Amino acid sequence: MICPLAEVEEVFKESFGAVYQCSRKNCYWLEFKDTTTAFKISDFFLFKKTIDAIDIEKMLSDTSRTADFELVMPHRTDRCFILSAQDVLNLREVLAGAKFMIELNSEVKRILRKEAVLASF
Amino acid sequence: MKDLLKLKTSLAEDIENILNAQVKIEAHASALYLAMSSWCDDQGLDNSADFFAKQANEEREHMLKLFNYINNRGGRAISPEVTNIPTDFDSFRGVFEQTLLQEMFVTEQFNNIADKCMKAKDYVTFNFVQWFLAEQVEEEYVARRILELFDVIGEEGTGRWEIDKHLVKVTFSGQE
Ligand SMILES: [Fe+2]
Ligand SMILES: [Fe+2]
C-alpha cells in the first residue's frame, strides 16, 4: 500500500499498472500485479533499464521451465517480481509511459520557469 | 507535478549514454596499450614497453576524467567491462600502426560526442570535451611521427634498436 503520508500524483496509468510520484519523499511508486513498490529517482530509471534489457525472445524460445519466468529483485526494495513474457511487455509499457510523462513534465516545468523569469520583458 | 528528474541529474539520457560508451572506449584503449607494453617488453623493446605503459596510464586517466564528469553532473558512471584484448601482435611496426588507428578512432568518437552535444544544446558537456579534442591532436601526432621512424631509420640491421631508442624523443610542441 502507498504510504499514507505520501503526496501522490498520477504519472501514468494503464489497465495493468500505474506509476505515481510522491513529491514529499521525491520518489516514484510503481503499481503492478497487486503490489506497490517505491523507487528513488535513479533507482526507478535503473529498474526500467533492467526490464528493457530482458531477452523476451529467449524466454519464449527456451524450453526449460525456468525460462518461462524472469526474476527481478531490485536493490533497496523488498520486492521480488516474477514476470512472464507478457508481464514483461506490460511492465515495459507502463514504465515507458511513465518515463515519457516524467520527461514531458520536466520540459513543461522548464518552459514555465523560463516564462516566469522573462514574463516582464 | 514537481520536477524530480532535474533534481537528480543535469545530463540528458543520450548524453550520459554516449559518455559512458566513451568511458568504455578509454578503458579498452588503456588495456590494449598495456598488452602492447607487455609484447614490446618480451621483444626486448624496452623504450617502447615504457612508452605503452605510460600510454596505458594516460588512457586510464582519460577514463576517470569522463567517469567523474558523469557523476559530478548527477549521472551514473558505469565501470566498464573490458574484453577482447589481444596478447600477441604481428610486428613492431604493426603495433604502432594499430596505435595510430586506435587514436584516430577515438578522435572520431569525440567528434561524434561534440556533434551530439551541439544538437542537444548541451554546451556544458561540449565545453568539457574540448580538452579531449585538443589532446587527440597530440596523440595522433606522436603515433604518426613514431611510425615515420620506421621509414626514416629502417628496420634492417640495428634499425629496430635505433627506432626503439629514438621514439622516446618524439614530443609534440604544440601549434606554435
Ligand atoms: Fe584517450
Ligand atoms: Fe589516446
Q: Classify residue B174: in a domain, yes or no.
A: no
How far is B7 from chain A, CA to nearest CA, in Å?
9
One of 2.30.31, 1.25.40, 2.60.40, 2.30.29 is the CATH number of A8-119, namely 2.30.31
For A15-120, where are the E strands, in sequence order? 17-22, 27-32, 35-40, 70-72, 81-83
What's the mean pLDDT in B19-34? 98
Q: What was the pLDDT predicted at A85?
A: 94
What's the mean pLDDT in A93-101? 97
Mean pLDDT of chain A: 91
| pLDDT per residue as tens digits for the range B61-115 | 999 999 999 999 999 999 999 999 999 999 999 999 999 999 999 999 999 999 9
Contact yes or no for B1 and A9 at CB 8 A: yes
Contact yes or no for A41 and B7 at CB 8 A: yes
Domain span including residue B30 = 11-78+90-169
Q: Classify residue B2: in a domain, yes or no.
A: no
What residue has cell string 536493490? A75
CATH of the domain at B161: 1.20.1260.10
Q: Classify residue B17: in a domain, yes or no.
A: yes
Q: Classify residue B153: in a domain, yes or no.
A: yes
Contact yes or no for A41 and B2 at CB 8 A: no
Rounded Cα gap, residues B83 and B20, in angstroms: 16
Q: Classify residue B63: in a domain, yes or no.
A: yes
The confidence band for A8, taking pLDDT boundaries of 50, 70 and 90, is confident
What are the helix (H) ranges across B121-166? 123-152, 159-166
What is the count of structural domains for chain B? 1
What residue has cell string 541529474? B9
Query: Residue B176, class by beta-carbon neighbours within 10 Å (0-12 exposed, 13-18 middle, 19+ buried)?
Result: exposed
Q: What was the pLDDT predicted at A65?
A: 80
Q: Classify residue B65: in a domain, yes or no.
A: yes
Rounded Cα gap, residues A70 and A56, in angstroms: 9
| pLDDT per residue as tens digits for the range A21-80 | 998 889 999 999 989 999 999 999 999 999 999 999 999 998 888 888 999 999 999 899
Q: At what angle do helices B46-72 and B13-42 cross, to 10 degrees?
A: 160
**Strand, helix or coil for residue B1:** coil
Domain boundaries, chain A: 8-119
What residue has cell string 537528480? B8
Residues in A closer than 8 angstroms to B3, CB to CB, are 105-106, 109-110
Q: What was the pLDDT predicted at A121?
A: 66
The confidence band for A5, taking pLDDT boundaries of 50, 70 and 90, is low
Q: What was the pLDDT predicted at B173?
A: 86
Judged by average pLDDT, the poorest of A40-44, B4-8, B23-27, B37-41 is B4-8
Q: Classify residue B175: in a domain, yes or no.
A: no
Q: Classify residue B43: in a domain, yes or no.
A: yes
How far is B173 from chain A, CA to nearest CA, in Å?
45
Q: How far is the CA of A86 from the centre of ligand 2 (A)?
A: 46
B26 known member of a binding site: yes
Q: ipTM score here?
A: 0.82
- Answer yes or no: is pLDDT of A6 > 80: no
| pLDDT per residue as tens digits for the range B105-158 | 999 999 999 999 999 999 999 999 999 999 999 999 999 999 999 999 999 999
